[in-house]
Structure 1
Amino acid sequence: MYHAVAPDPAPATLGLSVTPDAFAAQMAEVARRGFTPVTTAALAAAWRTGAGLPARPVLVTFDDGYEGVHRYALPVLARHSFTSTVFVTSGWLPGRHTTGGALDTMLSWGQVRELAAAGTEIGGHSHSHPQLDQLDARRLRFEALRCRELVGEELGTAPDSFAYPYGYSSRRVRAAVREAGFGQALAVGNALARRRQGPYALERVTVRRSTTVEQFGRLLEGTSLARDFAVDRALTKGYALARRARGAVRGHWI
């Protein structure tokens, strides 16, 4: 799971960004280890139908829709003939439907179309990037549906995959995403995606600016994840308890 790819990102995205050189080195490591990137939709379709996958499939995903994905990541991916999935926050992209709140320079819709034309899967990441598990039913439905509608209008094809903002979801959120028309959705979890997780709770691992090539190799292989993400997992459990308490008070946590 990537976010911004930039040499000098905005402070708000710094920790979850990677430099262009680091991204290039990481994709070279993907190639060196014999992994084959697939899209999120292709992985889910293969698991549903029993169709074959490459021997070592991997998802390369980008959340939010930062401009550096087009400027810096796309040429590297093209050089290796790699595909990826970019999950866009539709209201953060410039245009007449902008909600404000973007943390850095975002993709234009023209760049999104260019990414799609290059074989990148474009997925949804909500309309305004809220914590979906804290929304009431009306707002939750709007966030999922509006995102899918706008991406569909801009690309001519509605997105099939979704990623939860902040990785937060619940049964109610997953149901709303499914009802909006998405076929599968990604969380975070900092664990490998497994079929048993179900199509609406697939997990990913976080790549940060501090991630070394050696650490990245461990992420690819799924080794030492408990050690590498021990702090993240402890914090995630705490956040989950706090969000559950807030949701219970508001009367819409399930």
Structure 2
Amino acid sequence: MYHAVSHAPARATYGLSVTPGAFGEQLELLVDRGFTPVTTRRLAEAWRSCGSLPLPRRPVLITFDDGYEGVHRHALPALEKHGFTATLFAATGWLRGPRETPGALDTMLDWDQVRELAAAGVEIGGHSHTHPQLDQLPDEQLRFEVRRCREVLADELGRPPVSFAYPYGYSSRRVRQEVQKAGFGQSLAVGNALATPRQGPYALRRVTVRRSTDIERFEQLVEGRAIGRAFAGDRALTKGYALVRGSRRAVRLLPPGR
């Protein structure tokens, strides 16, 4: 899971960014280790096929969240150099254009760039409209965020997206059900663990690549080694924050006067 690819990202995205050089080095390692990138759609098709549509040897899913401009400027040339595919999950209200809303953390893609990514074989998926914590929203607002995102992508690209990624990685049964009802066939969380079939198509996990991820750590992550140690602190924080967010949502949804 990547976010911004930039030499000089905004402060808000710095920790979750990678330099173009680091990204290129990471792709070279995937080539050297014999990995074959697949899209989210292809991964889910294999999951549902029960073996009739097997994945290639050593499959890896490369994803970009939010829709930062460096995905087109820096990541796309590196992907094309190796004939690699990927999936971009776009927060449609953050992209530059007539539907743009406040809140973007850095320079975002415009719609012409998104179309060029799609034409190059990058799968374009949904990431909500304005990037909220979906599990904290009341039902009507949740429905808007998910369905508006899908509508905008369908309008701009000529076909509806089939994959979704939860902003911040947060979801709940209610959120996952709404994503499914909206017409998305699969969705991704974070979890910082390898994806496995038992996670199901609406809670597949990903591993975060950061500015601080050097090539040795990247090799460990893609080979499935030391993931638990690498993200132990993240998981402890996630569990604690999950309790806080659950309490906040319960308070928000209390009837008036309670």
Tell whether 2:179 aligns with 1:166: no
Which residue does the alignment assign to 2:63?
61
Matches of 2:137 and 2:216, distance apart in 1: 39
The equivalent residue for 2:85 is 83
Identity between Structure 1 and Structure 2 (%): 68
**What secondary structure, in the 3-state scheme, does the structure 2 residue paired with 1:158 have?**
coil
Q: Secondary structure at the match of 1:17?
A: coil
The amino acid of 1:120's aligned partner reads V
Q: Deviation of residue 192 (structure 1)?
A: 0.4
* Matched residue type, 2:17: S
Structure 1, gaps ≥5 residues long: none
TM-score of the aligned structures, taking structure 2 as reference length: 0.96
Matches within 5 A, 1:130-141: 130-141=132-143
SS at match of 2:131: coil
Could you tell me which amino acid in structure 2 is paired with residue 16 of structure 1?
L
Secondary structure of the structure 1 residue equivalent to 2:124: strand
Q: How far does residue 150 in structure 1 lie from its aligned partner after superposition?
A: 0.3
- Distance (whole Å) between structure 2 residues aligned to residue 144 and residue 88 of structure 1: 12
**Given residue 226 of structure 1, which amino acid in structure 2 is its aligned partner?**
G
In 2, distance between residues paired with 1:79 and 1:151? Answer: 27
Q: Which residue of 2 aligns with 1:108?
A: 110
Counterpart CA distance in 2 for 1:180 and 1:27 is: 34
Paired amino acid for 1:190: N
Distance 1:54 1:239 in 2: 37
Shift of 1:99: 1.3
Give the equivalent residue in structure 2 for 1:180: 182
Stretches of structure 2 that go unaligned for 5 or more consecutive residues are none
Could you tell me which residue of structure 1 aligns to residue 17 of structure 2? 17
Counterparts of 1:191 and 1:149 in 2: how far apart (Å)?
Answer: 31
Task: Give the alignment's TM-score, normalised by structure 1.
Answer: 0.98
The 1-side partners of 2:41 and 2:253 are apart by 33
Q: Does 1:206 align with 2:204?
A: no
Say which SS state the counterpart of residue 12 (structure 2) adopts: helix
Shift of 1:250: 2.1
Distance 2:221 2:185 in 1: 26
Q: Secondary structure, in 3 states, of the residue corresponding to 1:186?
A: strand
Q: What whole-Å deviation, never above 9, does each CA across 1:181-221 have from its counterpart, x for those lacking one?
A: 10000000000011100100000000000000000001101
For residue 18 of structure 1, what is the amino acid of its counterpart?
V
Aligned CA-pair RMSD = 0.8
The corresponding residue for 2:125 is 123
CA distance in 2, matches of 1:239, 1:156: 39
The answer for the alignment partner of 1:224 in structure 2 is: 226
- In structure 2, the partner of 1:240 is 242
Counterpart position of 1:2: 2
Aligned partners of 1:132, 1:62: CA distance in 2, in Å?
19
Quote the residue 1:37 is aligned against: 37
Whole-Å separation in 2 of the counterparts to 1:190 and 1:198: 16
| Distance (Å, rounded) in 1 between the aligned partners of 2:47 and 2:200 | 10
CA distance in 1, matches of 2:240, 2:33: 35
